[in-house]
């Protein structure tokens, strides 16, 4: 990596940390007023069976986990969430970008912000369950195969009622949710 590309990465990270982008959109923490827009943004992906549908109450319960991207007119153009699974492990959830903004870096900037949030929380690994393997691979994730966690942590996690934790553990009860998806992980170290 050249000094110029490192400088560009640092500059983009600083913009992301401030929630701004030179690409014509802003990334910020989600607010309760964003929930209907978040649900509307992900609904086409739910209909395509790319994302699992969620009731509106679930979005309200987890609004503090979400970051949103909005265009200059204030329209939501992207969304992503970070859910803590364990002491060192978080999950990237509901990462989605509107069709008009695909390929313009919105997903990358949202993911970069979620990774910064994860580091701030002390997490060292991120998990995702995705059909978008090339995107996550370009962003440092790898297929985790049958990898999970050590047996003591597994015994604790298996008690969780959270579907994302069950998907991370690859439990049989969530197999209908995971068909065709790839379980991916990234080290933040």
Question: What pTM was computed for the model?
Answer: 0.82
Nearest alpha-carbon partner for 181 in 126, 138, 129: 129
Per the CB < 8 A criterion, the answer to whether 12 and 49 are in contact is no
CATH code of the region 24-187: 3.40.630.30
Count of alpha carbons within 13 angstroms of residue 35, beta-carbon side: 14
Task: Answer yes or no: is pLDDT of 16 > 60.
Answer: no
Residue 91 and residue 118: Cα distance in Å, rounded? 9
In the predicted model, what is the mean pLDDT of residues 43-71?
A: 94
* Domain locations in the chain as residue ranges: 24-187
Task: Answer yes or no: is pLDDT of 112 > 80.
Answer: yes
In the predicted model, what is the mean pLDDT of residues 170-184?
A: 73
Residue 31 pLDDT class (50, 70, 90 cuts):
very high
Task: Answer yes or no: is pLDDT of 93 > 60.
Answer: yes
Residue 70 and residue 76: Cα distance in Å, rounded? 4
| HEC readout, the chain | CCHHHHHHHHHHHHHHHHCECCCCCEEEECCHHHHHHHHHHHHHHHHCCCCCCCCHHHHHHCHHHEEEEECCCCCEEEEEEEEEEECCEEEEEEEEECHHHCCCCHHHHHHHHHHHHHHHHCCCEEEEEECCHHHHHHCCCEECCCCCCCHHHHHHHCCCCCHHHHHHHCCHHHHHHHCCCEEEEEECC
Residue 10 and residue 105: Cα distance in Å, rounded? 16
Residue 55 and residue 172: Cα distance in Å, rounded? 23
In the predicted model, what is the mean pLDDT of residues 23-52?
A: 94
């Amino acid at each position: 990596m050249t000094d110029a590309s490192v400088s560009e990465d640092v500059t983009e990270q600083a913009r992301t940390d401030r929630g701004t982008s030179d690409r014509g959109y802003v990334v910020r923490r989600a607010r309760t007023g964003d929930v209907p827009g978040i649900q509307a943004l992900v609904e086409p992906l739910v209909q395509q069976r790319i994302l699992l549908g969620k009731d509106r109450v679930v979005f309200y319960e987890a609004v503090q986990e979400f970051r949103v991207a909005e265009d200059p007119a204030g329209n939501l153009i992207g969304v992503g969430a970070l859910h803590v699974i364990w002491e060192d492990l978080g999950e990237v959830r509901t990462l989605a970008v509107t069709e008009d903004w695909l390929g313009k870096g919105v997903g990358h900037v949202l993911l970069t912000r979620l990774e910064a949030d994860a580091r701030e929380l002390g997490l060292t690994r991120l998990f995702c369950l995705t059909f978008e393997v090339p995107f996550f691979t370009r962003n440092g994730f790898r297929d985790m195969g049958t990898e999970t966690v050590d047996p003591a942590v597994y015994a604790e996690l298996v008690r969780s009622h959270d579907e994302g934790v069950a998907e991370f553990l690859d439990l049989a009860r969530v197999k209908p949710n995971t068909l065709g998806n790839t379980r991916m992980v990234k080290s933040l170290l």
